[in-house]
Amino acid sequence: MRAMGRVVVGLAFLVVAASCSRGHAVGSPAAPTGVLAPVPSPSPAVGGRLPAVVARLSFSLPGGDAYSPQATAVDETGRAVVLCYQSNQPASSSALVTIDPATGSRGEVWPLPGPSLGPVAAGGGYAYAAYQDGQFHPHLAAVDLATGRLVADVPSDFVYAGDSLGIDRAGRIYLPLADRLEVRDGRSLEVVRALPYGTVPQERALAADPARDRLYLAVGERLRAYRASDLALLWETTGLSGHVHLTVDQAGRRVYARCEAFEGTQFVARLLAFDAAGGQPLPAPAAPAAGPSRVALAGG
């Protein structure tokens, strides 16, 4: 059965869905298949206009079994790295796929040592992903995106698929664990610092703004801002609830938090905005005036 994957590029959101097939040789580039298609504009929202989808790019293969996209990261060049998973391929159940959203071309397919549902990060020519080995032990891996070579592979604490990995311009990796934030060297993946939360939150999330040396960390109902280079706490605020996803707009002015929870039997999702400079809550989110931001989300 033909498997389809789509990449959706938005003014404020980049939604990537990719598929990779056993019929495509690992480590070899696929021919560009992206096709631009016009899509309707969203309706205006209170406080501003919602993000507008400007194109859908198809990266499907002619046939064969396909990986399912699970998570996406975008590096400093705008290249997307999609983490794919295939439950029917135990020998190579997860892989990384590079995509250029600007040209609609898919790059090479690089297998991971074990199954992974995320998270994934990309920067400096490398991709970083958490995975499990054959004994279900968690690992953190670094892959050279030019060659597919595994440059580092180290044991780690358990990482939830819904967690986030952060990366700064110095190549340091930020890994939020159950009770602490770990900072790791981007080449060796060795721990260079650990920051305890002071609690063991049920939920946690991380967003990095490398251009401004900032980290934003959701710990339970609290949102904290740090200077990434020395982990100095800049501000802290409350107001989060449920499962949280964080991102920062391209101008570095707003931090967005999507809070998901069940209220009784109903699933409720809220989108909150905070001032990145001081943490003050902002009105209903609107598209940033300074230009589009990009957030990578995987979907099937």
Task: Return the residue matching tokens 């280079």.
Answer: 229
pLDDT bucket at 17, cuts 50 / 70 / 90: very low
Phi, psi of 126 (to 5 degrees): -125, 155
Q: Which residues contact 62 (CB under 8 A, 6 or more apart)?
A: 2, 23
Which CATH fold would you assign to the domain 6-298? Lipocalin (2.40.128)
CA–CA gap between residue 35 and residue 117 (Å, rounded): 27
Contact (Cβ atoms closer than 8 angstroms) between residue 83 and residue 297? no
Segment 26-79, tens digit of pLDDT: 444 443 343 333 333 333 444 444 555 555 555 454 444 456 778 888 888 888
Percent of the chain with pLDDT over 70: 70
Phi, psi of 65 (to 5 degrees): -70, 145
Q: Which two tokens stand for residue 186?
A: 């981007």
Domain spans of the chain?
A: 6-298
Task: Return the residue matching tokens 């401004």.
Answer: 212
- Select, from the ranges 107-116, 235-244, 285-294, the one with the highest average predicted confidence (pLDDT): 235-244
End-to-end CA distance of the chain: 15
Q: Which two tokens stand for residue 169?
A: 């311009």
pLDDT bucket at 201, cuts 50 / 70 / 90: confident
Amino acid at 209: D
The pTM for the full model equals 0.73
CA–CA gap between residue 54 and residue 172 (Å, rounded): 33
98-118: average pLDDT: 83
Task: Return the residue matching tokens 């995320």.
Answer: 118
Is residue 4 over pLDDT 60?
no
Handedness of CA 277, 161, 169, 109 (dihedral sign): negative
250-261: average pLDDT: 91
pLDDT bucket at 117, cuts 50 / 70 / 90: confident
Contacts for 98-101: CB closer than 8 Å, 24+ residues apart: 98/145, 99/7, 99/16, 99/18, 99/59, 101/7, 101/9, 101/14, 101/16, 101/57
pLDDT at site 28: 43
Q: In what order do the strands lie in the sheet with 166-167?
A: 166-167, 173-176, 180-184, 191-196
Q: How far is CA 207 from the centre of its chain?
A: 9
pLDDT at site 203: 85
CA–CA gap between residue 223 and residue 243 (Å, rounded): 13
Peptide bond into 119 cis (omega under 30): yes
pLDDT at site 161: 72
